[in-house]
Amino acid sequence: MAGTAAPPPLPPWGNALAGATGAVLANAVVYPLDIVKTRLQVQVKRKETDHKPLTTNGAHYASSLDAIKKIFEDEGIMGLYSGISGSLLGVTSTNFAYFYWYSTVRSLYLSSQTVPRSPGTAMELSMGAVAGAIAQVFTIPVSVITTRQQTQPKGDRKGLLDTGREVVHSDDGWTGLWRGLKASLVLVVNPAITYGAYQRLRELLFPGKANLRPWESFLLGAMSKALATMATQPLIVAKVGLQSRPPPARQGRPFRNFIEVMRYIVENEGSLALFKGLAPQVTKGILVQGLLMMTKERMEILFMVLFAYLRRVRDSKLQQMANAAAVRAKEVMPLVAK
């Protein structure tokens, strides 16, 4: 009995759609952690001798649980989902662009090999960095707007478009929507490390396995994201500081670059503050990446089956059209002969 042929691989846009779908589902589940880590990362530790408010919203959070408690008490359950529409829009666009370009670059690399072989670690990181850089250039405005929404005081809440207008009018014009681009381009090493580590760990722990079980995908995604987050946390904190409103202590003066953000944090809180918000950042990253890769693997299989079905339907219709054309030709031939 002949074996069932494996469905053809997904095109780049199919991989991008599967990745974006997985990312949206994963980020929606853990979104409150995103609010918490952003609030923790933009606040400056209150000094005992200085009673000026140093945070954008006037509250100070001692920990992740304290942040959840205070946000819930002050803003209600919806406070934990502030800016979610813009965030999910950013997640969709960023992940679609990333997976599209990553699949495209990887396919081009594999097709250029005279002897097919898997890319090495350095090449995986390079391809991930290229894909991440391209994705960031086109999607960072949504990230800037979302960060602003997440750090807006309760009485100053604005929608996606109004927050975008605020950024344009209060910062550097339209270029304000690309605030933090340099830090974001440096941070492409984060997804590069994540997906490079994912590929290497997959080959190490599950060699030769084509389709992973959900828990296997979750485990690999969580491990790879934890490694990437711990390596890049200072840059993540600096990027959030650039994109949010400046602390009241700076009297409305925005930061010019991520080096200035880092210097300000170190001067006011010490070097360890460059890793503030690490716990919710890692927790969120582990859950999101684990759920993303688990969902992406399932979505890829679903899309492959769907595309194979659509191809069969198309081929069947083409065959029917060809048969109908042949029948008509047979009917016409006697008339032509007369």
Predicted confidence at residue 2, as pLDDT, reads: 45
Please report which residue ranges of 51-159 form alpha helices under DSSP H: 64-75, 84-111, 121-150
Q: Which amino acid is at 154?
A: K
- Asked if residue 3 belongs to a domain, the reply is no
Q: Give pTM, 2 decimals.
A: 0.58
Q: Could you tell me the residue range of the domain that residue 82 belongs to?
A: 12-310
Predicted confidence at residue 116, as pLDDT, reads: 65
Predicted confidence at residue 227, as pLDDT, reads: 84
Burial of 270 (0-12, 13-18, 19+ CB in 10 A): exposed
Q: How many domains does the chain divide into?
A: 1
CA pair distance 7, 310, nearest whole angstrom: 12
- Asked if residue 24 belongs to a domain, the reply is yes
- Asked if residue 335 belongs to a domain, the reply is no
Tokens for 73?
Answer: 């008490």
CATH number at 265 reads: 1.50.40.10
Indicate the Cα dihedral angle 89, 92, 93, 97, nearest 10°: 170
Predicted confidence at residue 305, as pLDDT, reads: 73
Predicted confidence at residue 303, as pLDDT, reads: 67
Predicted confidence at residue 330, as pLDDT, reads: 66
Task: Tell me the pLDDT of the chain (338 aa) as tens digits.
Answer: 444 455 556 677 777 777 778 778 888 888 888 888 888 888 776 555 555 545 545 677 888 888 889 888 888 888 888 888 888 888 888 878 877 887 787 778 778 777 767 777 677 777 777 877 887 887 888 888 888 888 777 767 777 788 888 888 876 678 778 887 777 777 777 777 887 788 888 888 888 787 788 788 888 888 888 888 888 888 888 888 887 777 777 777 778 888 888 888 888 888 888 888 888 888 887 787 677 767 766 766 776 777 677 777 777 777 777 777 776 766 655 555 55
Q: Which residue, 28, 14, 26, 87, is CA-closest to 294?
A: 26
Predicted confidence at residue 147, as pLDDT, reads: 82
Burial of 15 (0-12, 13-18, 19+ CB in 10 A): buried
Angle (CA) 189 99 116, round 5°: 90
- Asked if residue 320 belongs to a domain, the reply is no
Q: What's 246's DSSP letter?
A: P
Cβ–Cβ < 8 Å for 262, 274: yes
- Asked if residue 169 belongs to a domain, the reply is yes
* Residue 14: count of CB within 10 angstroms of its CB: 19
- Asked if residue 325 belongs to a domain, the reply is no
- Asked if residue 318 belongs to a domain, the reply is no
Q: Which amino acid is at 233?
A: Q
